[in-house]
Amino acid sequence: MDQGAFEKGAGVPDFVLLDQLTEDAMWANIKLRFEKDHIYTYIGDVVVSMNPYKRLDIYSESLMSNYKGCYKYERAPHIFALANDAYRFMTQRMENQCVIISGESGAGKTEATKIIMRYISKVSYSSTEVDRIKDMLLNSNPILEAFGNATTLRNDNSSRFGKYMEISFEGNGAPVGGRITNYLLEKSRVVAVGAGERSFHIFYQLLAGYPAAQLRSELYLENDPTKYKYLARSTNIKVSTINDSDDFKEVQRAMKTLNFSDAQQKQIWRTVAAILHLGNISFNEHQPANDAGTVTTTIANPDVADTVATLLDCDSHSLKRAFTYRSITTGVGRRQSVIEVPLDEAQAYYTRDALAKALYERLFNWIVQHINTALAPHDGRFDDKIAIGLLDIYGFEVFQSNSYEQFCINYCNEKLQQLFIELTLKSEQEEYVREGIEWKGIDYFNNKIICDLIESKKPTGLIALMDETCLIAESTDKTLFDKMNQLFKTHKHFETYEISKNRAIPDGSFKIKHYAGDVVYAIDGFLDKNKDILTSSLKACMQTSNLDMIQSFFPVEADTRKRPETAGTQFRTALNNLIDTLLKCYPHYVRCIKPNDEKRPGRLNEERVRHQIRYLGLVENVRVRRAGFANRQPYERFMQRYKMVCPQTWPRWKGGNDRQGTEVILNHLGVGKEEFKFGKTKVFIRNPKTLFLLEEKREAEMPRLIHIMQSAIRRYVAKQSLAKKKAAMKILQFIRRRRGLAWVSSAVRAYQGCDKDPKLGKNIVCPAAPALLRGAQEVFELYHARWRAGVMVKSLSKEEQAHMRQKVLAYTIFKGKKPINIPRRFDADYLESPQNPNQQAYVRSMQRLFAKYGDQRVEFADYAEKINRSQAVQRRGIVITDQNIYKHDPKSFKVAQAGIPIAICTSVSLSPHNDAWVVVHTNDQSNRDLVMNFGVTGDEKVSEFVTVLCQVFKELTNNDLQINFVDKINYNNTVAKQPSPAIQITFEVNAKVKVPTWKKGTKTSNVIQLPQ
């Protein structure tokens, strides 16, 4: 165990380690640990928990992480260790687990349940969906506590109902849902609150937390609990440890998380409000004028009854009539009739309270069912999943006045004690005898005799006797009491004054000597509470409600003549079903002890603690644990789990049977002979440390074994994959060969004779190739296209070939960058054309230029618009020779200055739009950049100009001229000794222009307007 668990002066962490096993020694150890705030102590696997009545810093997330994955004895005693065991056992063994939390009211059972839920939520597998389920599971607690818990003399947050919560998991340990089974809500608390206690929390939370204006307008309530008689019967309205307003907000948040709609929440609050108003209805009794008449009752404040009817959305007249009259059905068949009998004042109050109790109980059951619907797994199935169950059920109760509710609660605790005895004391000792293990029996009190007194059918027990008495219409509580005296007068655990003449037992009361102590029950009200009857008139009235929720509380009964089961029988059946469920799970126990009755921190009442030690059977539990064995397993399971820790038994044990293999493993690990015993079918291990040693050795071996298995699996998978691939390759190669040959033959046939075709096979469609030969098809088509192009080019003249090269270059430059007229023929010198009226002047001018500057040929010539230095448009003849670009006057064709050498050009800029503007950039400071528009003759000539310019530039410099396609063009307007800032050309759409048009702007910017 963790050395921190053995703190000096803090006792021993496990009662099994006590030097002397006596009640005195156990009390002394509890006292030492409690004074050091060590509230948890073990008895082997059982956790004994003391309620500290204060907050302790021992539940942080970091501490949860410290316990995660550890064995119980590796850390100091804590409820986290038990929760970790439950979760680990479930995931390792794929076996359902249950945690049974027992103890008196106020011993801390509810808090223990919440702590376990928080731990499981923290350490379990996580994902977005899983976190949503965890959130819903945790948020069910505030709702159930609000509607099912109350402040009692012994506990500020006492569970007044029992619940068994099952959390369902997938095999990977991820929670996927849950469900709650509730038992015996103490509904009498709604109408009768003991002195110093409170009713259910939700009444106070609603009044404190609901918005004040809506509280009055929607629920007709005020936020003063003393104005409602059901609450005002106790002076304990405010509790220092409870903030009702904050708790109500938490309930609302939890309801949202658990999918309670706004409409459903409003109906819940209307029902709760209606119950509070019900308590304020009062009655007046009217005596008849003469003795021959009948006593009648009227409602003293009918307006309150009207408010109740409004909240429940039912008929007000029917409701008020049901409070003061009851319907009796007489006769059968056609002769059947219904008569109304007036109720006296006491009966009217009883009827009112019966409705309040019925509404609250059915509301509570509806809320639990809704939570179960929200928590259900997506597939709605629980049987194929593993689960951890948490049993949080009312503790043993002894009040100054004990009634039917305490009888049922204490019966439940007797059953749980019997289960504990069966699983930890009786069955364990019986197993030792059955397996042939030497064993000296340990005496303990078996409370089966008390359980039989309460629940037995033959011979008749108390519940069966109550049911028999309820069948007789004239029976009263005194009738039941007389029958008890007659039937149980010799039972050593049942006592009345009439039987024993013990004046400590009041008249009309009986005593049951429970395992936890003697309890005296007052017989008054037992029969009515067991019958749990609501008049047919009230049921019929509730069935007329327009609220879906209220209607569902009171379904129409198919056969009203069938007598419903009594409350006692229903509780007995539910309790036995619970025990059956628990017996199918691996159990874990938390035994809660209450240190004092005043709920004061740091105070230990020795007498109270010793009493709980005795009735919980803790000393006997320690004796069995010390004398017995911590673990037992069938030989086959032991071998299957631990055979890898010993070379002789791994991978297969061949030296004998499983018992002999188990002995080999234990001897190999050096486990002492005194630490284990061999039974007929099982091995018994005495000390948990031996089990931890086995688990540690197993876990140490697992990585190596996993590596071996992974290697073997990978090798097998690789071999299988390789064999499949080889087979597949052979098949594919055969298929490809056949398909390939067939396709090649069809392709050859398709292209046969294309050299004799005038169009050289232009219309030939290559046969579609198989998927694996698509590349070959593309190659066929490419080679045919190249062959066809080559034949066509060879047939052209040199001039036509040059023209085609120009077209290819133009296509390469402009494709996808700017729209041009590709089919137009490039005629090069358009100014020498007879259509040019100034043809002769142009020819003479070019002859002079050639003679003067040495140019050899004209590559391109046409009219264009040029932008001068003042940003004005001028018409010019633009000529590209093999050396220069010349600008001619369009009429005289005089050249004012020398041409611009093409070799000094740096780039050409065009827009990506449908226009013919171009800017030629140079690196010569004596020449401005040329800005020109080659669309003035009606045809787009900019593509030919740029193509020819690129060709000449390549011939002169052996480099490619840079071509830019941009929306904004910057150009140089500076010439020698005449500096000018750079000018930017932008392009914009203008619906008024028909052709791209130059618009002069500022000194630094101009616009070319484009048609829409």
Residues serving a catalytic function are 105-106, 110, 155, 158-159, 395, 397
CA distances from 370 to 21, 77, 363, 748 (A): 49, 37, 10, 76
Q: Which neighbouring-strand residues pair with 837?
A: none
Of 390, 391, 448, 461, which Cα lies nearest the Cα of 421?
448
Residues 534, 358 contacting (CB under 8 angstroms) = yes
Neighbours of 623 (CB within 10 A): 17
Phi, psi of 111 (to 5 degrees): -65, -40
**Residues whose CB is less than 8 angstroms from the CB of residue 177 and which lie 6 or more positions away in sequence, other chains included:** 133, 167, 168, 375, 376, 377, 378, 382, 385
Residues 530, 404 contacting (CB under 8 angstroms) = yes
Phi, psi of 185 (to 5 degrees): -65, 135
Residues 114, 104 contacting (CB under 8 angstroms) = no
Token pair in block for residue 299: 């409602």
Of 401, 396, 529, which Cα lies nearest the Cα of 450?
396
Neighbours of 403 (CB within 10 A): 17
19/11 Cα distance (integer angstroms):
11
| Tokens 């709760």 found at | 272
Query: Strands, DSSP E only, in 911-1004?
Result: 917-922, 930-933, 962-965, 968-971, 983-989, 997-999
Q: What is the largest CA-CA distance in the chain?
A: 155
35/458 Cα distance (integer angstroms):
50
137/933 Cα distance (integer angstroms):
79
- What stretch of H or E contains 227? none
Which 3 state secondary structure label does DSSP give 44? coil
- The DSSP bridge pattern shows strands 586-593 and 46-50 to be parallel
Phi, psi of 909 (to 5 degrees): -120, 135
**Residues whose CB is less than 8 angstroms from the CB of residue 561 and which lie 6 or more positions away in sequence, other chains included:** none
Of 4, 38, 437, which Cα lies nearest the Cα of 15?
38
Report which residue type is found at 433.
Answer: V
Radius of gyration of the chain (CA): 50
**Residues whose CB is less than 8 angstroms from the CB of residue 943 and which lie 6 or more positions away in sequence, other chains included:** 810, 813, 814, 820, 821, 822
